Amino acid sequence: MLLKGITIEDVLDGRSEIRNKVIVRIFREAKIVEQWGRGVQRIIQLCENKGLKKPDIIESGMFVKFILYRKSDAKSNEA
């Protein structure tokens, strides 16, 4: 779930809050993280670059759901 006070719009704007400082330190030392708060924006950009529909982000209770879309196979729908 999103942290208290953070909305989906905040996430889309790149806002990021650290939940676990130990994991953050490990990721930073391993150079796994490019930039904090860019993951969702990067996913959306990659979908757009591939001509895919923008993902839906739905917050429901304690969960946040990302719905990713794929291109439909036009050939399989023609018959």
Decide if pLDDT at 73 tops 90: no
Per-residue model confidence (pLDDT) at position 69: 93
Domain ranges of the chain: 8-78
- What is the chain's length? 79
Decide if pLDDT at 75 tops 70: no
Q: pTM here?
A: 0.67
Q: What is the DSSP letter of 14?
A: T
SS3 of the chain: the string is CCCCCCCHHHHHCCCCCCCCHHHHHHHHHCCCCCCCCCHHHHHHHHHHHCCCCCCEEEEECCEEEEECCCCCCHHHHHC
* Main-chain phi, psi angles of 55, to 5 degrees: -60, 150
